[in-house]
Structure 1
Amino acid sequence: MLYPFSASIPPAARRRWLPGLAVGLALVGCSPRPEGRAGDGASAASQELLLVSYAVTKGAYDRILPRFEADWKARTGQAISVKTSYGGSGSQTRAIIDGLDADVATLALAGDVLKLQENGLVQPGWEKDLPDGSIITHSVVAFVTRDGNPRGVRTWADLAKPGISVVTANPKTSGGARWNFLGLWGSISQTGGSEAQAKAYVGSVYRNVDNLPKDAREASDVFLKRGQGDVLLNYENEAILAKRSGDLKAPFIVPEVNIRIEGPVTVVDRNVDRKGTRQAAEALAAYLQSEPAQEIFAEEGFRPVSPGVWSRVKGRFAPVKTLFSADDFGGWKQINATFFAKDGVWDQLFSRSR
C-alpha cells in the first residue's frame, strides 16, 4: 500500500512497535508484523478503526473517511470501516485515558496528545511520525458578532470593555477554548505587553463571560441558536460553517494579531499494538495530510497544512499580519503547566472572575 505523499517521512522519525527494528520504508504503516496478529493489515477479511476527535471536525471527517476507506480497499483489497467519536478535546482526551479504545486521535491541540503520552498511551516522539510536526489542520480565532456589530467589537481590546457579553468555551474541557485563551493572552504578551498586563486583560475578558460551554460546537449553539452574548470567540472554521449554513448573517472578524491554531494527529500506540491495527491506523493518520483530505479540510473552513492546497485556497481566508504560535509560549508542556494545571493561571483568573 504505497502512499506517495508519505515518502518524505524520515525513517529515523518513525516509531516501530518491534523495538530496535530499522526499516527504511516509504510505505505508511507497512512495517513487518508478527505472524497471526489478527486485524493487522490486509491479511484479515475486514478491519475496523476508531477515530476519536474534537467536535468541530465532524463535517470534514464525514467526507474524508469514506474516501480513505475506498482508497484502502482499492490498494489492499481489504474492507475497512472507520468509526468515530466526537466531543470537547479535553473530554475526549480523558475518555481515551479512561479506556475509550481509540486507534487514531485527532485532538484540538498537541497539549492533549501530551497527556496521552504521559499516561503511556502514545510513545514519545509522536510529533515526528509525519511532516509538519504531525499537524493536519490550521485555524485562527474569529470573533462572531450580532448583525451589524452593535457593540462595535473589532479588536481584542474591545472584549474587555464593561458591559460586553463574551461567549467562549471552557478551557478545562475544550481545546478550542485553550486556543482562545492563548489568543487573548498573546494579544498582549506578543505585542510588547508584560505578564501582569496580560493577566489583568484576560481577567477582565473572563469577567465578561457569563457561562462556559463544554466545547466549541456548544459555544456556537449558545451564541447562534440560543441568542446569548454579544460576541463569540471560536475557530475561524466554525464561523465559516455558520455563514455557509445561514446561521450567521453578519461578517465575522479575524483579528490581525492572532494565534496559529494547530490540530495534531497521533496513532494511539498502546491500543493499536494490542488490537493489531497499527498498519491501518498509520495509513489513516498519513492520509489526513494527503491533498484529497487537505482539500476537504479547506472546504470545511480549516486552513490546510499542505503548501500546494494552501496556495490554491488562501484567498478564501482573512489575512493575518501577526501570527504567533504555541511555541511562543514555550510549547504545550510549558503551556499546560503554566496556564491550565491545577492552581495555574486559568484557575487563578477564573476564581477571581466569578
Structure 2
Amino acid sequence: MTIRLRAATAASLTGLLALAACSAGADSSTDAETIKIVGFAVPEAANKNIAAEFNKTDEGKGVSFETSYGASGDQSRAVEAGLEADYVHFSVPTDVTRLVDAGLVADDWDSGENKGVVSTSVVVFGVRDGNPKNIETWDDLIKPGVEIVTPNPASSGAARWNALAAYGQVISGGGTEEEATDYTDKFFENVVSLPGSGRDATTAFLGGTGDVLMAYENEAILAAQNGEGFEYVIPETTLKIENAGAILEDASEPSQAWLDFVLSDEGQRQFALTGFRPIRDDVDYGGTVQGAKDPSDPFPAVPTLLTVDNDFGGWDEVSDKFFDEEDGLVMKAIVAAGHSLE
C-alpha cells in the first residue's frame, strides 16, 4: 500500500501564499513585516482572532499575515517541498518533526514547558439533530447501519487522533490488543466517507453525509458559532488532542514574538473562545463559550481522558504501529474495509 505524496498539492499550495489574511490594525507600509502561517484547516478562525489581538501589541504593530490552510499532512509535506512558512501549526507533532528532519525546524522546538503544544481539544461524536441513531458510546458506532464520517489518515492529522481514540478506548476498558484491532476494523467498515481534512469531513457531514462525524470538540463549537451547528457527544472515554506549533529556522523577525503570544493567556483565551481547550487550566476566557453544548460549562471534565504519551507510548511508537504505510494497523483496517488511502 502506498500513500501518494501529492506533489501537485505542494505546488498548488504555494499559490495559496497570495492569500493575505491581514489582521485588524496591520500596517500597509512597504517595510511592514510579514508572518507566513501554514497550518491545518481547523484552527484558521482562532489564528485569525489571535492575529487581530497580536496586532494591538508593541511586538505585533504593523505585522501582516499570509496564510495557507489545509490537511495537516499535506501542509507539512508542502513546506518540506518548498512552501514558504515562518510558523507552522499542525494537527500532530510528527508533521513538525518531518520539518526537523528536513533541517527546517530546530531540534529543540518542543523543549519548552508546553512541549511544542499550542492548542488542545478532545475527540467527540457529531450527530444529527435529536440524535436519531442514539449515538452515545463507542459501541454504538459499530452497530449495523451506522454511517461514520472521518477524515483520511493519509492526509489528515484529525483522522489520526480519531483512529487512536477508537482503538485506545478498548484498551482503556480492559480489552486486549486483539479486541482493539477488531474494533478498529469494524469502525472503518462503517465509515462511508474519508475526506482529506477535518474541515472537509465537517463540510461533508453538514452536507448530509453519514450519521455520525468524528470530530474535534472545537470544530463542533465553531460550526455552531457559524450558524451550522450540530449536536455532539463527548464519550466517557476519549483522547486528548494536542496540536503542535513551531517557528522555522529562518523565520521572519516577529515570528518568535508571535509564538510567544499564541502561548500567552490572551492567545489561549482566543483559542478558547473559538472552541479549543486552553493548554493551561488558569486561562481566563470569561467562563462562557458560545456554540458549546453548555456555554456556561464549555469544556467539561472527561471521566477517562487518554493521551498519546501516557497511553500509547508516544508518537514514535504510534507512527510505526498504527500509521506505517505498509503495516500500520489503522492503514490496513482502511484498506480491508475497501477504502482508498489516496
Q: TM-score, normalised by structure 1?
A: 0.80
State the shift of 1:312 in Å. 5.7
Within a 5 Å distance, the mapping from 1:172-187 to structure 2 comes to 172-187=154-169
State the shift of 1:138 in Å. 1.1
State the shift of 1:148 in Å. 1.4
Number of the residue aligned with 1:340: 323
**2:80 paired residue among 97, 105, 116:** 97
Q: Provide the rounded CA distance (Å) in 2 between the counterparts of 1:306 and 1:115.
A: 27
Instruction: Say which is worse superposed, 210-219 or 339-348, in terms of deviation.
Output: 339-348
Number of the residue aligned with 1:253: 233
Is 2:265–2:284's contact at 8 Å kept on the other side of the alignment?
A: no
Q: CA RMSD of the aligned region, Å?
A: 1.8
Letter of the structure 2 residue corresponding to residue 186 of structure 1:
G
**2:262 paired residue among 285, 288, 307:** 288
**2:198 paired residue among 208, 216, 231:** 216
State the shift of 1:296 in Å. 0.8
Corresponding pairs, count: 299
1:52 and 2:58 aligned:
no
Letter of the structure 2 residue corresponding to residue 58 of structure 1:
E
Partner of 2:152, secondary structure, is coil
**2:282 paired residue among 289, 302, 308:** 308
Distance 1:98 1:75, change over 3 A: closer
Cα shift readout 1:224-268 (whole Å, capped 9, x = no counterpart): 1x201011110000111222233225x310111111100111111
1:263 and 2:237 aligned:
no
Number of the residue aligned with 1:145: 127
Q: Provide the rounded CA distance (Å) in 2 between the counterparts of 1:310 and 1:175.
A: 28
Q: Provide the rounded CA distance (Å) in 2 between the counterparts of 1:103 and 1:146.
A: 39
Letter of the structure 2 residue corresponding to residue 231 of structure 1:
V
1:196 and 2:178 aligned:
yes
Q: Provide the rounded CA distance (Å) in 1 between the counterparts of 2:55 and 2:201.
A: 32
Instruction: Say which is worse superposed, 189-198 or 295-304, in terms of deviation.
Output: 189-198
Partner of 1:223, secondary structure, is helix
Q: Provide the rounded CA distance (Å) in 2 between the counterparts of 1:240 and 1:185.
A: 25
Cα shift readout 1:124-145 (whole Å, capped 9, x = no counterpart): 22101x3221211110011111
Q: Provide the rounded CA distance (Å) in 1 between the counterparts of 2:217 and 2:173.
A: 22
Number of the residue aligned with 2:52: 66
Within a 5 Å distance, the mapping from 1:88-167 to structure 2 comes to 88-128=71-111, 130-167=112-149
Is 1:53–1:107's contact at 8 Å kept on the other side of the alignment?
A: yes
State the shift of 1:84 in Å. 1.0
Distance 1:197 1:340, change over 3 A: same
Instruction: Say which is worse superposed, 344-353 or 292-301, in terms of deviation.
Output: 344-353
Number of the residue aligned with 1:230: 211
Is 1:165–1:208's contact at 8 Å kept on the other side of the alignment?
A: yes
Distance 1:80 1:246, change over 3 A: closer
Within a 5 Å distance, the mapping from 1:31-50 to structure 2 comes to 45-50=31-36
Q: Provide the rounded CA distance (Å) in 1 between the counterparts of 2:271 and 2:44.
A: 11
Q: TM-score, normalised by structure 2?
A: 0.83
1:244 and 2:228 aligned:
no
Q: Percent identity?
A: 36
Distance 1:45 1:334, change over 3 A: same
Q: Provide the rounded CA distance (Å) in 1 between the counterparts of 2:31 and 2:74.
A: 34
Number of the residue aligned with 2:334: 350
Distance 1:240 1:311, change over 3 A: closer
Q: Which runs of 4+ in 1 moved over 4 A?
A: none
The higher radius of gyration belongs to: 1
Q: Provide the rounded CA distance (Å) in 1 between the counterparts of 2:131 and 2:59.
A: 51
Is 1:114–1:333's contact at 8 Å kept on the other side of the alignment?
A: no
Q: Provide the rounded CA distance (Å) in 1 between the counterparts of 2:285 and 2:87.
A: 28
Distance 1:61 1:75, change over 3 A: closer
